[in-house]
């Protein structure tokens, strides 16, 4: 299986959830020459040492055979940025939150496939945690914004079978509208 950018985004938002954020914003802006993504959370943040390691996932302290984890999230992000001449950065403050930002050239030949944002959004909106997630997606001049809080107010338990179906249709409908000419 080839990991897509949406798999990577899912993993990065899961980091925010794992950091016990109560407010997460995922903003995706696309045009012909740029793919710009910002994931901001008010989770536990990182101290200087953790942030240093997170920024440099292939950092090694020189100890042989040291366990080195290759995850899907940050390592994949930095590797993709390097391979495609894009940019990626993490800003974080302990106790305040974390912001991950990246900018890729959507036409770069080495860029992984974008993947399915509807599936990623449904996964993230139905992930079991207390907190709000706001998704904003902009393509050219068009955009939509949805919030987990508003969706739960409208649909009740997002994990029940009927809500799941409506949620998927709603997000897919918004995605389709973005691409209408």
> Binding residues for Mg ion, per CB under 5 A?
15, 73
Pick the binder of ligand ATP from 5, 35, 40, 46 (CB under 6 A).
Answer: 46
- Looking at 30-38, 46-54, 110-118, 161-169, which segment touches ligand ATP (CB under 6 A)? 46-54
- CA 124 – CA 112 distance, rounded (Å): 21
The verdict on 74 binding ligand ATP (CB under 6 A) reads yes
Contact (CB, 8 A) for 76 and 11 = yes
The verdict on 50 binding ligand ATP (CB under 6 A) reads yes
Nearer to ligand ATP, 53 or 142 (CB): 53
Nearer to Mg ion, 124 or 167 (CB): 124
Pick the binder of ligand ATP from 42, 73, 125, 133 (CB under 6 A).
Answer: 73
- CA 104 – CA 107 distance, rounded (Å): 9
- Looking at 66-74, 109-117, 132-140, 170-178, which segment touches ligand ATP (CB under 6 A)? 66-74
Q: How many residues does the chain have?
A: 181
Integer angstrom CA distances of residue 93 from 45, 48, 96: 5, 8, 5
- CA 34 – CA 37 distance, rounded (Å): 10
The verdict on 98 binding ligand ATP (CB under 6 A) reads yes
Integer angstrom CA distances of residue 75 from 110, 156, 168: 16, 36, 29
Task: Give the DSSP H or E segment for 161.
Answer: helix 161-179
Give phi and psi for 86, each to the nearest 5.
-100, -170
Give phi and psi for 6, each to the nearest 5.
-65, -35
Binding pattern for the stretch 6-45 against ligand ATP, x by CB under 6 A and - elsewhere: -----x---xx--x---------------------x-xxx
**Residue numbers at the binding site for ligand ATP (CB under 6 A):** 11, 15-16, 19, 41, 43-46, 50, 54, 57, 71, 73-75, 98
């Amino acid at each position: 299986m080839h990991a897509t950018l949406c798999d990577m985004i899912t993993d990065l938002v899961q980091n925010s959830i794992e950091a016990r954020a109560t407010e997460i914003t995922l903003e995706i802006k696309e045009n012909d020459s740029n793919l710009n993504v910002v994931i901001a959370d008010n989770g536990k943040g990182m101290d200087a040492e953790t942030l240093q390691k997170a920024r440099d996932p292939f950092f090694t302290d020189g100890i042989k055979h040291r366990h080195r984890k290759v995850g899907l999230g940050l390592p994949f992000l930095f590797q993709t940025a390097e391979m495609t001449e894009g940019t990626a950065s993490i800003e974080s403050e302990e106790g305040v939150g974390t912001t991950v930002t990246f900018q890729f050239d959507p036409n770069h030949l080495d860029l992984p496939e974008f993947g399915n944002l509807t599936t990623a959004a449904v996964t993230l909106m139905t992930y079991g945690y207390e907190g709000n997630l706001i998704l904003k997606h902009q393509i050219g001049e068009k955009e939509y914004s949805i919030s987990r809080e508003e969706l739960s107010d409208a649909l009740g338990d997002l994990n029940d079978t009927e809500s799941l179906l409506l949620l998927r249709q709603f997000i897919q409908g918004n995605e389709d509208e973005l691409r209408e000419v």
